[in-house]
Structure 1
Amino acid sequence: MSIWTDFADLDVRQSFYDIGGIRTRVIEGGDPDKEALIFLHGTGGHAEAFTRNFRAHMPHFRTMSLDMLGHGYTDAPDIEYTFDKLIDHLKAFVDTLGIDKVSLSGESLGAMIAAHFAIRFPDRTRAIVMNTGMLMDRKEEDLVGIRDLLERTKKVTGEVTKDAVRSRLAWLMLDPDKSVTDELVDVRYNIYRQPFRAEAMRRIMFMSAGGLLDADWRKKYSNEEDLRRIRCPVLVLWSDHNPGLKSHNAKEAMAYIENGKFIVMHDSAHWPQWEETDLFDRIHIDFLKSSE
């Protein structure tokens, strides 16, 4: 249940790349000649969201978990954060590493970035996984959880304390007492204490989760018609307890996805890759291998 014990016997490294002047952090492992897989965390997250998944994925893929623009230990410039800027940074990262085609597995915000990347760069996208994140309108029952998330984010970015960080992480989990470890709190606490990082997190959160409360924003960035434009294979991986979008509402989006598969996990909330690691890995690898 520790990041260190997950990685202790693995050939995994933390690397920093210059991506258009942005110092960009990635955790990476696996054979660089294998198919590339990039994990993308959610809003306010960081690469450690997928540390439990490296062991199973490294034998099959060049496996990377990216700190997206403004997140983790990637630079957080004083800018207006938009989907396009996060996508442009991801594209520049893929180009810098010389990756021809990539599979993207995104959780929450990362899922939406993966989907928009696939729409903009279909020739560079092998497959995508949308993990508890979806391009679609929201119903009132879904917005309740998003409003709760925004309130927790206001607290953690207003005054960075370990209690506030723990509360924010608890929103992600079905069983916070078990899943929100002291180590995970320390990792995120130290990230948020960096200069300007809490402010960057606030801007990104109110751009993404805050945008979901705005019907006009949803029409631009989170709509069913964009799902029709995705041409690569798509796995939509959900949970029964996802606080941001109920599974029965997420399933409605499958009518708009040409080449998609929908699976619901039952013992996790917003981080199934963390709370149901073994099952997540089996489903995930089977899908990606079948999409090669």
Structure 2
Amino acid sequence: MSTPTASDTTTSIWLDLLGSGAGERFYDVGGVRTRVIEAGSPELPALVLIHGTGGHAETYCRNMGPLSEHFRVLALDLPGHGFTDRPATAPTVADHAAHIVGLLDALGIERAHVSGESLGGMVAAWCGIAHPERFDKVVMNTGTLARPDAAGQAQLDDLEQRTLALRDNGVTREGTRHRMNWLVADPSRMTDEMVEVRMRVYSQPGMLDSVAMIMSWVVGMLRGDHGEEFMAPGVLKRLERPTLVLWTEDNPGQTTELAERVSQDIPDHRFEVLTDCAHWPQFERPDVFNQTHLDFLLGA
């Protein structure tokens, strides 16, 4: 299956998934109706893909096809996101990790690889820390368990404000694109289709209340308001699964220098930096993102 490149303007979500056998399904995970986009044979090793705060499974539309040639790929909407049920209170990183384990239980999957972006990267790390018996390899993509510097925190605060503006002023195409442009190095790469998907997700009654609640919890954790157990110095020493830390030169919120420094705590890790992309390398540089994943996950 061919993989779109950063400059490919002809692709669409359906064209990206065409031929992969991808399908949208809903599963009961501990009483939470959970949406999953699946691709690949159930006989293949499982790979769980976890989006970031305010995201949804379509985050990985450019990756599921190529990855599904080797894995049973499961891209889910986390609780409070996409079309999964919304919780009354903001889930913690540990809550999300436990939900991933619950999804594996619901599908009868004993072990899986896990790859997450932004908040999803933090959740992927916690999956490996708290549930090492259920996960083989871990990929942390533009999100790690470490507090940012002042400049990075300001960037995260800006994203929170863009989210709150949508909640308070209504879901508009301009406001949605303004939020999503934060994710990419080149705004021209954020397609109208992806903006429309996000608008439809956010237009569900009460959805932006949920997204804003979770966003405020995550930004507060990174700022130091709560969640000390997830941000404690040296916490990544507990991550004993083989781990790829995949970063970008232009990642907002947490710098390359920070990510490389804290990654040294991971006993078995590889650190790689992608160029010409920001917070969504899986969307901006799917060609190299997919190949890097395959090299790591299929390697010895």
TM-score normalised to structure 2 length: 0.93
Contact 2:220 2:226 in 1 (8 A): no
Question: 1:198 maps to what in 2?
Answer: 208
Contact 2:160 2:212 in 1 (8 A): no
What do you get for the CA RMSD once the two structures are aligned?
A: 1.3
Question: 1:121 maps to what in 2?
Answer: 131
Question: 1:176 maps to what in 2?
Answer: 187
C-alpha distance in structure 2 between counterparts of 1:80 and 1:104, whole Å: 22
Shift of 1:218: 5.6
Which runs of 5 or more structure 1 residues have no equivalent in the other structure? none
Helix, strand or coil for the counterpart of 2:80? coil
The runs of at least 4 consecutive aligned structure 1 residues that moved more than 3 Å come to: none
Deviations 1:31-53 (A, max 9, x none): 11111001000000000000100
| Partner AA of 1:108 in structure 2 | S
Which runs of 5 or more structure 2 residues have no equivalent in the other structure? 1-10
C-alpha distance in structure 1 between counterparts of 2:60 and 2:243, whole Å: 19
| Partner AA of 1:268 in structure 2 | C
Shift of 1:87: 2.1
Compared with structure 1, are the counterparts of its residues 250 and 278 closer, same or farther at alpha carbon in structure 2 (3 Å cutoff)? same
Say which of 280, 289, 297 aligns to 1:271. 280
Question: 2:8 maps to what in 1?
Answer: none
| Partner AA of 2:184 in structure 1 | M
Question: 1:102 maps to what in 2?
Answer: 112
C-alpha distance in structure 2 between counterparts of 1:141 and 1:7, whole Å: 37
Deviations 1:10-39 (A, max 9, x none): 311111111122111000011111110010
Contact 1:136 1:218 in 2 (8 A): no
Shift of 1:113: 0.6
Provide the identity percentage.
40
| Partner AA of 2:118 in structure 1 | S
**Residues 1:29 and 2:39 aligned together:** yes
Deviations 1:196-240 (A, max 9, x none): 1110001110111232112x5363222342200011100000000
Shift of 1:241: 0.3
Helix, strand or coil for the counterpart of 1:261? strand
C-alpha distance in structure 1 between counterparts of 2:173 and 2:124, whole Å: 30
C-alpha distance in structure 2 between counterparts of 1:8 and 1:80, whole Å: 35
**Residues 1:15 and 2:25 aligned together:** yes
Question: 1:259 maps to what in 2?
Answer: 268
C-alpha distance in structure 2 between counterparts of 1:227 and 1:258, whole Å: 8
Helix, strand or coil for the counterpart of 2:143? coil
Question: 2:199 maps to what in 1?
Answer: 189
Question: 2:63 maps to what in 1?
Answer: 53
Say which of 169, 173, 178 aligns to 1:167. 178
Contact 2:20 2:68 in 1 (8 A): no
Helix, strand or coil for the counterpart of 1:147? helix
Question: 1:246 maps to what in 2?
Answer: 255
Deviations 1:74-129 (A, max 9, x none): 11132343223222221111111111111110000001011111111111110110
C-alpha distance in structure 2 between counterparts of 1:126 and 1:56, whole Å: 20
After superposing the two structures, state which structure 1 stretch, 153-162 or 44-53, moved more.
Answer: 153-162
C-alpha distance in structure 1 between counterparts of 2:127 and 2:142, whole Å: 17
After superposing the two structures, state which structure 1 stretch, 254-263 or 150-159, moved more.
Answer: 150-159
TM-score normalised to structure 1 length: 0.95
C-alpha distance in structure 2 between counterparts of 1:212 and 1:160, whole Å: 26
